[in-house]
């Protein structure tokens, strides 16, 4: 079976396209999900079907998963209506689950998968409870996959960035690096490349916060 060098599974948004082009990656685009009108996931079957189709494709040595939907404005939890909650928390988490399931099946033995996750730093997370929940859930999925796929030499790691979720006004103290929150094609892509490549061959189930020292 022929293998592509790098595969990117992600949203149909501009940052994903930018990273994919820079990595010269083949792309699988996950379907956008409409909001939830009731307490079910009307898009679950379609997402399941997408997952099964994509998972049957060519394997790859290096895979980046990047579910970066368009986020809503930050809001206090008590003011977040159910539809907004669903759009900001449940739909992205379901997309991550589907995409990481594809990555699990598409990653060749000895390959490497990096989940590039948007995550507000703890200090700046007020009003971003849905996004923080998704980020932490993704990290646990990555660690679960690191455990289940380690026996065949496949590695799973996460890189986080607050790039699009950083508030205009930061809580003191200031971030360690003045370059905060960083740039996708500088600080963030470097961490992704490192975790994808052979230099991190002994690293799996780890999280790199590419956030200029805002998390610890």
Partner 1 sequence: MADKKVVMITGASGGLGKGLALACAEQGWSVWVAARRESEGNKVAAQIEHSGGAARFVHCDAGDPHSVDTAVATILAAESRLDGLVHNATSGLSPRPGRVSELSLNDFRDHVTVSLRGSYLLARAAFEPLQSSQGALVLLSSEAGFEGKARLPAYAAVKAAQRGFARSLAREWGNCGIRVNCLAPLASTEAMEDAFRRDPEMEQRVMARHPMQRLGDSVKDIGPAVCFLLSQNSRYITGHTLMVDGGSCPVT
Q: Which residues are near partner 1 by CB under 8 A?
A: 39-41, 44-45, 47-48, 51, 55, 76-78, 80, 82, 85, 89-90, 93-94, 97-98, 100-102, 104-105, 120, 122, 125-130, 132-148, 205
φ/ψ (deg, to 5) at 7: -125, 140
> Which of residues 133 and 170 has its CB atom nearest to partner 1 in the complex?
133
> Which of residues 6 and 86 has its CB atom nearest to partner 1 in the complex?
86
CB of 39 to partner 1, least distance (A): 6
> Which of residues 13 and 215 has its CB atom nearest to partner 1 in the complex?
215
CB of 13 to partner 1, least distance (A): 21
> Which of residues 129 and 208 has its CB atom nearest to partner 1 in the complex?
129
> Which of residues 17 and 203 has its CB atom nearest to partner 1 in the complex?
203
Contact 145, 168 (CB under 8 A): no
CB of 34 to partner 1, least distance (A): 15
The DSSP string of the chain is ---EEEEEEE-SSHHHHHHHHHHT-EEEEPPP-PPPSSSS-TTHHHHHHHHHHHHTS--EEEEEEE--PPP-----GGG--HHHHIIIIIHHHHHHHHHHHHHHHHEEEEEEEEEEEE---GGG-TT-HHHHHHHHHHHHHHHHHHHHHGGGT-EEEEEEE-TTT--SSPPSSPPSSTTTT--IIIIIHHHHHHHHSGGGTT--S-EEE-STTS--
> Which of residues 23 and 139 has its CB atom nearest to partner 1 in the complex?
139
CB of 9 to partner 1, least distance (A): 13
CB of 22 to partner 1, least distance (A): 27
Q: How far is CA 115 from the centre of its chain?
A: 4
CB of 137 to partner 1, least distance (A): 4
The DSSP string of 16-33 is HHHHHHHHT-EEEEPPP-
């Amino acid at each position: 079976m022929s293998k592509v060098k790098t595969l990117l599974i992600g949203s149909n948004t501009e940052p994903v396209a930018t990273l994919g082009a820079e990595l010269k990656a083949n792309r699988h685009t996950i379907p956008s999900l409409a909001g939830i009108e009731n307490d079910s996931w009307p898009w679950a079957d379609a997402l399941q079907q997408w997952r099964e189709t994509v998972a049957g494709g060519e394997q790859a040595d290096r895979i980046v998963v990047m579910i970066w939907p368009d986020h809503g404005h930050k809001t206090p939890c008590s003011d977040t209506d159910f539809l907004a909650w669903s759009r900001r928390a449940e739909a992205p988490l379901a997309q991550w689950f589907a995409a990481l399931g594809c990555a699990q099946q598409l990653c060749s033995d000895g390959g490497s998968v990096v989940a590039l996750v948007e995550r507000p730093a703890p200090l700046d997370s007020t009003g971003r409870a849905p996004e923080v929940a998704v980020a932490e859930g993704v990290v646990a999925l990555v660690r679960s996959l690191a455990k289940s796929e380690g026996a065949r030499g496949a590695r799973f790691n996460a890189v986080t960035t607050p790039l699009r979720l950083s508030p205009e006004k930061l809580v003191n103290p200031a971030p360690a690096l003045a370059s905060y929150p960083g740039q996708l094609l500088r600080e963030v892509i470097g961490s992704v490349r490192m975790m994808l490549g052979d230099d991190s061959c002994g690293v799996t189930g780890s999280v790199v916060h590419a956030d200029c020292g805002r998390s610890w």
